[in-house]
Amino acid sequence: MHNHVMPTYARFPLTLVSGKGSRATDDQGREYLDFVSGIAVNGLGHAHPAMVKALCEQAGAMLHCSNLFHIPAQQQLADRLCQLSGLDTAFFCNSGAEANEAAIKLARKFWFDKGAARRTIITATQSFHGRTLQTLTATGQDKVKIGFDPLPPGFEHVPLNDIAALKATVNDETAAILLEPLQGEGGVNEAADDYLKAVRALCDETGILMLLDEVQTGIGRTGEMFGFEHTGVVPDILTLAKGLGGGVPIGAMLANANVATAFGPGTHGSTFGGNPLSCTAALTVLEVIKKEDLLANVREQGARLRKGLQHLKDRNQRIVDVRGQGLLLGVAFETEVAGIIEQCRSNGLLLLSAGPKVLRFLPPLNVTAEEIDEALTILSRSVAQLEAA
């Protein structure tokens, strides 16, 4: 039969239909350990009882009503995210790209209101910020831009962790610096603590806004609620999505009060953003993370997984690096990893890559020690099978 879905994804030959916790089941009834988590989305795993209950209740009350009305769940979620992050106000949308679009707009409007000609956003090479025209232009990877010109002006790229290069690029047209504290799609590359601190200092000196894209790292993934907490550096604008809704689409852009005043009625909006259903999902994610002490679990299981991966590296010369934070870990190989992903899948473990040569691990935040050990066993068996073939 003709496939009517646009082929924008090179899909794995697998149809997942249900799941429970860290396990997903395909349409043939076969079970897999799911260390993809919908690309860092399903932080509570599949079908968490608290999520099922909260969503069913909210669906029975109201799914959507428009931002023309007050939405109590949205208000509560904004309060909670601001309390957790130290920022002052939140705008809700439906995805990571939209959250970054909002951040770019807010940064530009902030300077427009001041009467300053600062419009340029500086980002890092290898970064990933989304697929809309602004966010793919912000992205520091040429492959996502091919064929989409003319691209919007106002973006520059610098190598990550090179403060001299950043200082040489900053000028009186710079509006903001946009970074991921740990690049996910670009290969699991950490921004060094000292670098983030130096960026904050540079922004404090010049007034340039510091934007952090925590679409992938936010909501517990790195072992803190937000990746920036590892360094103590607080951004002026923070973007979230993926894990925020635990599988229900929602994005957020948080800003400090000084910057947020640039967005008044009519400056930005979203029909669906922050509707009762998605905010209920996000509130449930935050509640379960706290109640089940999942940040501690991320740190513990992240350390266990990392140790196991390091052990595999010590025995395998094709592995060049084990890196990342919490439960966003990458294993860099000398060669492409597509074959390993396929072999792991046939052995019952779902993994993904971050670029052609990096295996990426994104188990749910509530993964158990037994599941980590099982994944490590499947991985080393799969690597050994491929080497023996």
- In the complex, the residues that contact ligand PLP under the rule CB under 6 A are 95-97, 100, 128-130, 180, 184-185, 213, 215-216, 241
**Rounded distance, CA 155 to CA 115, Å?**
20
Of the pair 128, 263, the CB lying nearest ligand PLP is at: 128
**Rounded distance, CA 355 to CA 375, Å?**
21
Counting Cβ atoms within 10 Å, is residue 168 exposed (0-12), middle (13-18) or buried (19+)?
exposed
**Rounded distance, CA 358 to CA 282, Å?**
30
Cα 207 to chain centroid, rounded: 26
Per the residue annotation, which of 91, 92, 110, 242 is the catalytic one? 242
**Rounded distance, CA 309 to CA 313, Å?**
6
**128 assigned to active site:** yes
Per the residue annotation, which of 35, 128, 226, 361 is the catalytic one? 128
Per-residue tokens: 82? 């601001």
Of the pair 132, 347, the CB lying nearest ligand PLP is at: 132
**Rounded distance, CA 67 to CA 154, Å?**
30
The least CB distance from residue 28 to ligand PLP, in Å, is: 29
The least CB distance from residue 127 to ligand PLP, in Å, is: 7
**290 assigned to active site:** no
Of the pair 298, 376, the CB lying nearest ligand PLP is at: 298
**Rounded distance, CA 158 to CA 368, Å?**
39
Q: At what angle do helices 49-61 and 276-291 cross, to 10 degrees?
A: 150
Strand order in the sheet with 89-93: 89-93, 251-255, 237-240, 209-213, 174-179, 120-124, 155-158
The least CB distance from residue 205 to ligand PLP, in Å, is: 26
Of the pair 96, 308, the CB lying nearest ligand PLP is at: 96
Per-residue tokens: 204? 């404090």
Of the pair 19, 38, the CB lying nearest ligand PLP is at: 38
Of the pair 229, 292, the CB lying nearest ligand PLP is at: 229
Of the pair 141, 343, the CB lying nearest ligand PLP is at: 141
H or E element, residue 332: strand 328-333
The least CB distance from residue 180 to ligand PLP, in Å, is: 5
H or E element, residue 371: helix 369-388
The least CB distance from residue 231 to ligand PLP, in Å, is: 17
The least CB distance from residue 327 to ligand PLP, in Å, is: 15
Per the residue annotation, which of 35, 91, 155, 213 is the catalytic one? 213
Residue nearest to ligand PLP (CB): 96
**263 assigned to active site:** no
The least CB distance from residue 243 to ligand PLP, in Å, is: 11
Instruction: Report how far apart, in Å, the C-alpha atoms of 216 and of each of 39, 133, 182, 260 are.
Output: 8, 20, 8, 23
* Count of CB atoms situated within 10 Å of the CB of 331: 28
Per-residue tokens: 68? 């023309």
**Rounded distance, CA 358 to CA 94, Å?**
28
- Residues acting as catalytic residues: 128, 213, 242
